[in-house]
Amino acid sequence: MEKMVIEGGRPLRGAVSVSGAKNAALPIMAGCLLGGGRHVLRNVPRLRDISTIVRIMEQLGVRFDEGEDFLGVDASDLSGYEAPYDLVRTMRASILLLGPLLARQGKARISLPGGCAIGARPVNLHLRALVAMGADMHLDQGYIHATAGRLKGADIFFDIPTVTGTENIMMAAVLAEGRTVLRNAANEPEVKDLADLLRAMGAQIEGDGGDIITIEGVESLKGVEHTIIPDRIETGTFMIAAAMTGGDVSISGCRPEHVGALMEKLKSAGVGVEVVPGCIRVQGSEEIRGVDIKTMPFPGFPTDLQAQFMALMCVARGSSLIRETIFENRFIHVSELKRMGADIEINGNQALVRGRERLSAAPVMATDLRASACLVLAGLAAEGGRTEVSRIYHLDRGYEALDVKFQGLGAAIWREKE
Ligand code: EPU
């Protein structure tokens, strides 16, 4: 295992470029199962979660070829229909294979993802929608066994706008017989990116980006080329890092319209934010003011940036009330931030952060992906020596070469064996 070592207190300066979005790349790779022929995907981030889905898809008979700037995915000859426990337990997003496998193969056997550090994270809405489309579903020895003839279009209402649920059912519906309407659908940019891929493959989808998505099923889909959108959470992480260290960073290759909520909050906190097409410049200020946030579905403040924003609020002037409304246990980073001197009080789904002048370096432990990023940011801003963030395998699930990118901005950060 590796840990990240950081000598904080240096303002980050310079330019950094954002990688492709993990949460767009995963459903898009699953979507490639739907069409015979070879797909060429560009801007696929090099991450542990991507290697995991590649391993599962290889077991299904998918062939991959890789170049400097592309990933070839050929699902012409599918032979399997199973996502095994030992891989699913390392990446819950494997559930995204369920819809495409059912649509293409008429059967799927997927290990039911368990809870994770941030919450119980059930998949009942995915399963209920597939049953409404005619699938037969039962659970045996921890596996979802699903079978179906050709799925049938249905009118689906999601109780909660679930991101991977919307993606899964959209993928199931593109090859179904007739029309599927998804109501209260998720409108995250990653859902739209998947819809763009599927449309290019020949699917008929309308309304993505809004909360009602209509899909007319087609008989077959073809292989295409697609470029994955930039990662808005990585973008936001760099923006917060620049603000937190009092730096001046230009973030290129990003989509400013995907981080609107964060931009507004940073401006309210007194941080300089300047937008030019494809690029955001963030300049820290002498004094960061405490501001409140509430996590919401897109375009609200993303839950995946809550932990990182909390790190910033730890060194703000005044206090900040942070409300987490998406996941029930997404404050696990708080006890680690406290080890670095943060003053945070949790009450249910609210955290009251009383800003301090500084955080102090300390050994801390990463517990999930975004919590790890939060601790790295805290370490970059901390004074008084080395912050060591252990268990950074969580970080490598979702950030491409984060240490190298921070080094390029002047940070003293490196990996060591634990
Ligand atoms: N929910 C249900 N039943 C379901 C599905 C969801 O009750 O069948 C609940 C969840 O428990 C949660 C809420 O609905 O309380 C929203 O969850 P959602 O399904 O939208 O989350 P997800 O699809 O499992 C994706 C991202 C997460 C991100 C969330 C919210 C991927 C692969 N994952 O998860 O990303 O936090 O949407 O935006 O797209 C991360 O990258 O660190 C990460 C956790």
Residues 291 and 314 in one domain: yes
Whole-number Å distance, alpha carbon 310 to ligand 1 midpoint, is 20
pLDDT score for 66: 95
Shared domain check, 260 and 168 = no
pLDDT at 115 over 80: no
Query: Which pLDDT belongs to residue 397?
Result: 93
State the average pLDDT for the chain. 96
266, 237 Cβ separation under 8 angstroms: no
Q: In this structure, which residue's CA is closest to atom 10 in ligand 1? A: 121
| Residues 47, 12 share a domain | no
Ligand 1 neighbour 55 (Cβ under 6 A)? no
Q: Pick the range with the lowest mean pLDDT from 13-17, 285-289, 346-350.
A: 285-289
Residues whose CB falls within 8 Å of the CB of residue 385, separated by 6 or more in sequence, listed in order: 7, 361
Q: How far is the CA of 160 from the centre of ligand 1 (A)?
A: 10
Check which CATH number belongs to the domain holding 63 and give it.
3.65.10.10
Counting from 1 in the atom list of ligand 1, the atom nearest the Cα of 188 is 38
Taking 90 as the threshold, does the pLDDT of residue 119 lie above it? Answer: no
Q: Are residues 187 and 285 in the same domain?
A: no
Q: Which residue has its alpha carbon closest to ligand 1 atom 18?
A: 162
Query: What is the pLDDT confidence band of residue 305, given thresholds at 50, 70 and 90?
Result: very high
Confidence bin at 359 (pLDDT 50/70/90): very high
Mean pLDDT of 370-390: 97
Distance, first Cα to last Cα, the chain: 6
User: Is the predicted pLDDT of residue 292 greater than 90, yes or no?
Assistant: yes
The three-class DSSP label of residue 146 is: strand
| Ligand 1 atom showing the smallest separation from residue 128 Cα | 8
Strand ordering across the sheet containing 350-354: 293-294, 319-323, 350-354, 343-347
Kindly state whether residues 344 and 359 are assigned to the same domain.
Answer: yes
Which residues are annotated as catalytic?
116
160 Cβ inside 6 Å of ligand 1: yes
Q: Are residues 136 and 51 in the same domain?
A: yes
In angstroms, the Cα distances linking 1 to 88, 394, 401 are 20, 11, 16
Q: In testing the pocket of ligand 1, which one of 164, 295, 372 has its CB within 8 Å of the most ligand atoms?
A: 164
- Give yes or no for residue 339 having a pLDDT over 80: yes
Provide the number of structural domains found in the chain: 2
Q: Within this chain, do residues 184 and 257 fall inside the same structural domain, yes or no?
A: no
Q: What percent of the chain has pLDDT over 90?
A: 94
For the Cβ of 163 lying below 6 angstroms from any atom of ligand 1, the answer is: yes
Same domain for 163 and 205?
yes
Asked if 188 and 254 sit in the same domain, the reply is no
Same domain, 157 and 235: no
Q: Are residues 33 and 8 in the same domain?
A: no
Residues 235 and 252: their CA atoms lie apart, in Å, by: 9
247 and 187 belong to one structural domain? no
Ligand 1 pocket check for 192: Cβ under 6 Å: no
Q: Residue 276: what pLDDT?
A: 87
What secondary structure letter does DSSP report for 332?
Answer: T
Average pLDDT in the 170-191 region? 98
Rounded mean pLDDT of 291-305?
98
At which of 227, 255, 271 does a domain end?
Answer: 227
Strands 82-83 and 107-111: parallel
Quick check: CB of 397 below 6 Å from ligand 1? no
Mean pLDDT of 291-320: 98
Ligand 1 pocket: which of 52, 137, 163 to mutate (most atoms within 8 A of CB)? 163
pLDDT in tens, 32-73: 999 989 999 999 999 999 999 999 999 999 999 999 999 999
Q: Could you report the per-residue pLDDT of 196-211, keeping only the tens digit for each? A: 999 999 999 999 999 9
Task: From 212, 227, 242, give the residue that closes a domain.
Answer: 227
Among candidates 360, 348, 346, 257, which has minimal Cα distance to 310? 346
Reported as a pLDDT band with limits 50, 70 and 90, residue 146 is very high
Task: Compute the distance between CA of residue 230 and CA of residue 195 in angstroms, rounded to an integer.
Answer: 16
Return the pLDDT at 202. Answer: 98
pLDDT at residue 106 greater than cutoff 80: yes
Question: Ligand 1, from 160, 235, 324: best to mutate by most atoms within 8 Å of Cβ?
Answer: 160
- pLDDT over 90 (residue 286): no
* Ligand 1 midpoint to CA 253 (Å): 25
> What is the structure's pLDDT at 200?
98
pLDDT grade for 192, boundaries at 50, 70 and 90? very high
Cα 179 to ligand 1 centre (Å): 25
Domain endpoint, select from 205, 227, 249: 227
Q: Measured in angstroms, how far is the CA atom of residue 164 from the centroid of ligand 1?
A: 6
114: pLDDT strictly greater than 90: no
Q: What is the pLDDT of residue 118?
A: 83
**Which ligand 1 atom sits nearest the alpha carbon of residue 125?**
8
Beta-sheet strands, E only, within 121-168:
136-140, 143-147, 155-157
pLDDT at 116: 78
203-242: pLDDT as tens digits: 999 999 999 999 999 999 999 999 999 999 999 999 999 9
Tell me which residue range forms the domain holding 364. 2-19+230-417
